[in-house]
Amino acid sequence: MKIVLAQLNFSIGDFEKNSFKIREAIRHAKKEKADLVVFSELAICGYPPLDFLEFDDFVERCKKEIAGLAKECIGIAAIVGGPSVNPGLEGKNLFNSAYFLEGGKIRNEIHKSLLPNYDVFDEYRYFEPGKNSECIELNGVKIALTICEDLWNVEDDPMYVNCPMDELTKEKPQIMINIAASPFDHTHAEKRKAILKRNALQYKIPVVYVNHVGAQTELIFDGGSLVLNDAGDVVHELKYFEEDVLSFEFPENRGSVTGETKGKQPVSKIQSIHDALTLGIRDYFQKQNFTKAILGLSGGIDSAVVLALAVETLGEKNVHAVLMPSPFSSRESVDDSLALSKNLGNSCDIIPIEPLYNEYLSSLKSQFGNLPFNVAEENIQARIRGNILMALSNKSGYIVLNTSNKSELAVGYGTLYGDMAGGLSVIGDVYKTEVYELAHYINRHKKIIPETIIAKAPSAELRPGQKDSDSLPDYNILDSLLFQYIEQRKGPAELMASEFDAALVNRVLKLVNTNEYKRSQAPPILRVSPKAFGLGRRMPIVGKYLS
């Protein structure tokens, strides 16, 4: 049996585009004389559709498009993910299903049994778990058809009480096919491989895995679809962060598979983060029909990295940088920013904010009185810059890219309606130490980001001689503490018992927890870590969690 894997980039709710892609892939598979073509989870509507699933006409459109695709399946079969209606009176109205299309009609619907309800997932909000497990059959080959999470209950500490494959294996399937929407984080590709290998070894049959690729606002899907033989060896690996189609032969009654491996997993964490961020920027703009980006350029490492990523993704003609020096900005910062823009070829403007800043201080003189200079004057500068960027955005149709990093967002070192403004947060899930690694990766072939930007001490330059180190610990220490608290969920006692001073833990955790209100107003953050701010980290704004 010849099987084609179609790893495609779908758009949520764009039925015409999604159906066209699926139809074209079916026709391609026919020309390849394939017997079966496999698409990803909820392919027809895109993943995750969220509350669109609460609209009857959205679900009806899914059904209509699936029925139209079934008519294409003459002389070939297809597996396509989509929602289906629960005909029973009990439970939720929908299933998350895999449609088996053959002979011009829907031959079967297989429903997802294990519905993830953690981190970025909220499937139990919408779907009823499938309760009946059955194999499908094509050309005399029994196929155990599962959907994403259905294969993840083989871990040492299983999350669910049942395992769909335990039931399916009773029918003696010869191959396992799993359609998935597995979001990227920089640790996840190896975890997926380990889970799929464990399935192959436990059930002693080959595993075919088809994943989404592309970005849906915060969530990025890296593709990397796989075929493993019954020994758990990866024999085919599709491309990462790109659409890809691969065909292979599955010999009946044999555990081996034949074909040619095309893909290659990124060799480093920073390369995978880089590739994910560029895909995230590209899809956010293309799927929203945006073309041009604008950002404030400060002379610091964060805005430099975001500018370089934006130019790489959107092209130098579609990215505009604005330098907005204040009375406290150094000449070196302006020179470094201009050198960076020259290296990248993007347009840039210089708009000094000192006149506006002085006008604010003059207008507020009676209210401020003789109170000493503090964060109020600092935030005025940031908000002036935010207003300028938004004005240019409104006038010229730019989308503002936010340049805050994860370390800053964690401890609240950002100004609401100022440097936290934007339509998309590019590096909001990238710690400061990782931003430096990204800068070196961007410079791997030639010097794009000037070395003076990379070497200078981090500073917001909002008061004379300001340095981040005046009020924050060294970023190597801070990021390690934040990682253990945010990603690893270590509590105060655990942190104090390890490498961190109690006073430091209390101070940093208080900053993290009391600034939740700021993060709730941040733009969407591209997710590249196992625990990003946003969808996957739900914390109370009014709450206290300290030792």
Q: Which residue has the tokens 């981090």?
A: 458
Residues 6+ apart with CB under 8 A from 65: 15, 18, 19, 44, 82
β-bridge pairing 399-402 and 347-350 = unpaired
pLDDT of residue 470: 78
Residue 41 falls in the annotated catalytic set: yes
Catalytic residue among 112, 197, 239, 432: 112
Neighbours of 146 (CB within 10 A): 27
- CA contacts within 13 A on the Cβ side of 422: 29
Q: Parallel, antiparallel, or unpaired: how do β-strands 77-85 and 94-102 relate? A: antiparallel
- What is the model's pLDDT at position 336? 96
- CATH code for the structural domain at 2-252: 3.60.110.10
CA distances to 67, 80, 82, 134, 231 from 43, rounded to whole Å, are: 14, 6, 6, 22, 29
Domain ranges of the chain: 2-252, 271-468
**Rounded-to-integer distance, Cα 298 and Cα 301, Å:** 8
Name beta bridge partners: 223. 240
Q: Residue 330 CB: number of other CB atoms within 10 A?
A: 14
* Strand 219-222, strand 293-297: pairing: unpaired
Give kind and range of the element (H or E) at residue 296: strand 293-297
The topology (CATH level 3) of 271-468 is Rossmann fold (3.40.50)
pLDDT at 397: 95
Per-residue model confidence (pLDDT) at position 223: 97
Q: Which of 21, 41, 45, 135 does the annotation list as catalytic?
A: 41
Q: Cα(156)–Cα(496) distance, rounded to whole angstroms? A: 29
Residue 347 is predicted with a pLDDT of: 97
148 is catalytic: yes
Q: Which of 45, 73, 148, 163 is catalytic?
A: 148
Whole-model pTM: value is 0.95
Cα–Cα separations (whole angstroms), residue 356 to 190, 483, 498: 52, 39, 48
Quick check: 36 and 1 in contact, CB under 8 A? yes
- Residue 254: predicted pLDDT: 47
- The answer to whether residue 131 is catalytic is no
- What is the chain's alpha carbon radius of gyration, rounded to the nearest angstrom? 26
Burial readout 483-516 (b: 16 or more C-beta within 10 A, e: otherwise):
bbbbbeebebeebbeeebeeebbbbbbebbbebb
Between the alpha carbon of residue 222 and those of residues 276, 296, 315, the distances in Å are: 7, 29, 22
Instruction: Report residue 213 as tokens.
Output: 């690729």
- pLDDT tens string, the chain, 547 residues long: the values are 999 999 999 999 999 999 999 999 999 999 999 999 999 999 999 999 999 999 999 999 999 999 999 999 999 999 999 999 999 878 999 999 999 999 999 999 999 999 999 999 999 999 999 998 899 999 999 999 999 999 999 887 888 988 999 999 999 999 999 999 999 999 999 999 999 999 999 999 999 999 999 999 999 999 999 999 999 999 999 999 999 999 999 974 444 555 555 556 667 999 999 999 999 999 999 999 999 999 999 999 999 999 999 999 999 999 999 999 999 989 999 999 999 999 999 999 999 999 999 999 999 999 999 999 999 999 999 999 999 999 999 999 999 999 999 999 999 999 999 999 999 999 999 999 999 999 999 999 999 999 999 999 888 777 788 888 778 899 999 999 999 999 999 999 999 998 899 999 999 999 999 999 999 999 999 999 999 999 999 999 998 766 4
Give residue 526's pLDDT: 98
